[in-house]
Amino acid sequence: MRLWAVLALFAACSLLLKFAVFVYMTGDLSPLAFADRICLWDCRWFGKVAQGYEVGLPTNRNGEANWAFFPLYPLLVKAVAMLTMLPWTAAGVLVSQVLGILAAGCARPLFGSQTRAYWLFAFGALLGPFSLLFSMPYSESLFILLTILVLVQLQRGDYLRAGAWAALLSATRVTGVLIGAAIVLQAIIDYRRAGGAWRDLPRSFLSDNRLLLGLALVPLGLLGYMVYLRLWMGDGLAFAHVQVAWGRALDNPFIQFGIALHSGWPFKAHWDPFSTYAVGGLVAVVLTTLVALRGHYAAALFCFIALVLSFSAGLFSSVRFAAGLAPLGLVSAELIARRRWLSWSAYPIGLALGLLVVAGWISGRDFTMV
Amino acid sequence: MRGKLAFAGIVALGLAELALGAFAATTDVGPEYRAYYIDRTTGCLPREVPGTYALGTTVEPQSGKPRRAFDDILVCGFENSIPEGTWLRGIEGRLRFTLDDGAPGDLVLRLDASARVTPSFRQQLTVFANGQPVGIVTFDDKDPHQVEFLIRASARAAASGRLDIALRMQRLPHVEPTGKDSRLHSLLVGSIWLGPAD
């Protein structure tokens, strides 16, 4: 109970501080104006999803359409908006903040006895550099929470519940379905740790109905959305095909990575977006390696294939994609918390960076979180 | 027994998912959707526009300028505006002008444009009016140029006041990408003017 109270306090402070930055920059005291102001880029697309998916050819210049955005998060916000009578953006801020509290609270079992690391993670999630993800109407908030719920169930060896959360994850973002690979890997690791032999593994898995059902549940969210798109507008893969409208085409992720590094080089003191995305991609790869080196193989596999899929469409938004991968945040907190002095200095630095990111976002001139 | 029933249920769920996945992977879309989104054989996704245009006026597609005039004539192929104008994404763009009956016979289309060129590649722009070629221009450098195309009255005689202009570039140059979308850029248009030929 105390834990949830502290997390709620963190979240309240987070919103108040971000609102204070907004008031300082704009002079506007309206909370609704704040919600509108931080609803930029994809947030507006989520708002359009809440109004319903587009049918027929889009009328904008490049053919961008809201099919690219998975339905679970905007529908959740829409439901809250209808219940509370709040405008969509304000309901989105509220939902994301509550999802942030839930994500931070539900992550507690993943840290075991590492109390210092846990509190650093919780603080970082709600008040740190990327805490904006839990304050603005973006689907990363739901994605992080559901990823954590899957990982917690995997830690308990409950593959059925993990699969159920994963089904929701696959309805949240395109990379969500990839967590099915992590469930399979964790099941193999658990089986081997229990002394199982490789030759008996197929028979053992086929006789484990909870595992099989869990795995069968994983793609349900994605499939539901695909069938909806197929019936509604004739193309079940429209969410992928529409990426061309943003100039994104799937390519070899390693080539894309090379292009991004080349475009961003030399990295500038006053970074431009391309340097930021290149560095963000590099840091994500390093952190994924660290997740694996810390023994979290299933989580590392999920991050790796999610990054490969994301990078195959280019490194644009790499910072946000990396920040949305919960295991990277978990391992960062674990590593920083190994040194007490580093841990304590991370609090004010994380808070300051978080406020800087908010200021950059509100100004519309910073592309870190785009 | 219960375990076997559960297993059978899981197998049935898996098969149902396979069937749904196979169904969702099929398409039932029009040719324009297929060409733009799926086959990616064109960068031109046509849209219905009124073609409203007053002869002799200059349309400036730059960001910060009123969007209405350009949006009214832009059928497809051009990106969202930037301060310098609008990039042709890919190699084809189309414009539509709806002209009243009083429009003079021969017209001139004037563009302020610069092309994506490389030291080894000179870009070529061909303009079509209602499907008929009306001119070819070669861009030797990256500088903005004013280019003109004479459109004979005969080119729009059968179209009852509608003038569909197509801009076609030779091909996309091979350039090192410097930013999002840049590999797809071919022509930057800064202004469009259509008026009577002198």
Q: Is pLDDT above 60 for B180?
A: no
> Cα–Cα–Cα angle for B108, B109, B113, nearest 5°?
140
The residues on B that touch A, with CB distances below 8 Å, are 3, 6-7, 10, 13-14, 17, 20-21, 23-30, 32-33, 36-38, 40, 45-48, 74, 76, 78-80, 89, 176-181, 184
pLDDT at B172: 81
| Token representation of residue A140 | 């990363």
Instruction: Judge whether A112 is closer than 8 Å to chain B, CB to CB.
Output: no
Chain A residue numbers with beta carbons less than 8 Å from the beta carbon of B38 are 235, 241
Whether B101 and B135 have beta carbons less than 8 Å apart is answered as no
Q: How many folded domains does chain A comprise? A: 1
* A26 part of a folded domain: yes
* A22 part of a folded domain: yes
Q: Which secondary-structure segment (H or E) carries A50?
A: helix A42-51
DSSP-assigned letters across all residues of A139-173 = THHHHHHHHHHHHHHHHTT-HHHHHHHHHHHTTT-
| Token representation of residue B154 | 């005969």
> Cα–Cα distance between A284 and A45 in angstroms, integer?
26
Q: What percent of chain A has pLDDT over 70?
A: 97
How much is the pTM?
0.92
Q: Which secondary-structure segment (H or E) carries B107?
A: strand B107-115
Whether B92 and B44 have beta carbons less than 8 Å apart is answered as yes
Q: Is pLDDT above 60 for A270?
A: no
* A369 part of a folded domain: no
* A238 part of a folded domain: yes
> Cα–Cα distance between A40 and A128 in angstroms, integer?
20
* A193 part of a folded domain: yes
* A153 part of a folded domain: yes
Calculate mean pLDDT across residues A200-208.
Answer: 96
pLDDT category, A268, cuts 50, 70, 90?
low
Dihedral sign, Cα of residue A38, residue A44, residue A49, residue A52: positive
B185-196 vs B162-169, strand pairing mode: unpaired
pLDDT category, A247, cuts 50, 70, 90?
confident
Is B89–A216 a contact, with Cβ atoms under 8 angstroms apart? no
Helix (H, G, I), strand (E, B) or coil at A33: helix
Q: Is pLDDT above 60 for B187?
A: yes
Is B33–A314 a contact, with Cβ atoms under 8 angstroms apart? no
Is A274–B179 a contact, with Cβ atoms under 8 angstroms apart? yes
> Cα–Cα distance between B76 and B92 in angstroms, integer?
8
Calculate mean pLDDT across residues A29-38.
Answer: 96
* A370 part of a folded domain: no
Q: For residue A316, give the chain B residue with the closest CA.
A: B180
Chain B residue numbers with beta carbons less than 8 Å from the beta carbon of A274 are 179
Helix, strand, coil shares, percent, chain A, to 5: 75, 0, 25
Is A234–B40 a contact, with Cβ atoms under 8 angstroms apart? no
Interval B3-58: pLDDT, tens: 889 999 999 999 999 999 999 999 999 999 999 999 988 889 999 999 999 999 99
Is A216–B10 a contact, with Cβ atoms under 8 angstroms apart? yes
The single-letter DSSP state of residue B52 is B
Is A220–B17 a contact, with Cβ atoms under 8 angstroms apart? yes
> Cα–Cα distance between B197 and A213 in angstroms, integer?
73
- Hey, of A44, A60, A61, which one would you mutate to test binding to chain B, going by the most B CBs within 10 A of its CB? A61
> Cα–Cα distance between B102 and B161 in angstroms, integer?
9
- The ipTM estimated for the assembled molecules is 0.90
Placement of tokens 């993943």 in the chain: A110
Kindly report the number of other CB atoms within 10 A of residue B47's CB atom.
Answer: 18
DSSP-assigned letters across all residues of A188-207 = HHHHHHTT--GGGHHHHHHT
Scan residues 25-64 of A and list those with Cβ closer than 8 Å to B: 57-59, 61-63
Domain that holds residue A229: 2-363
Nearest Cβ partner for B79 among A62, A223, A262: A62
- Hey, of A55, A59, A62, which one would you mutate to test binding to chain B, going by the most B CBs within 10 A of its CB? A62
Which of B74, B72, B71, B69 has its CA nearest to residue B58?
Answer: B69
pLDDT at B158: 67
Q: Is pLDDT above 60 for A123?
A: yes
Q: What percent of chain B has pLDDT over 90?
A: 67
Scan residues 241-300 of A and list those with Cβ closer than 8 Å to B: 241-242, 244-245, 247, 249, 259, 262-263, 274
> Cα–Cα distance between B131 and A66 in angstroms, integer?
33
* A154 part of a folded domain: yes
Interval B66-92: pLDDT, tens: 888 999 999 999 998 999 999 998 899
> Cα–Cα distance between A121 and A111 in angstroms, integer?
10
> Cα–Cα distance between B160 and B158 in angstroms, integer?
6
- Hey, of B71, B180, B185, which one would you mutate to test binding to chain A, going by the most A CBs within 10 A of its CB? B180
Q: What is the dihedral of CA B55, B60, B65, B69, to 10 degrees?
A: 40
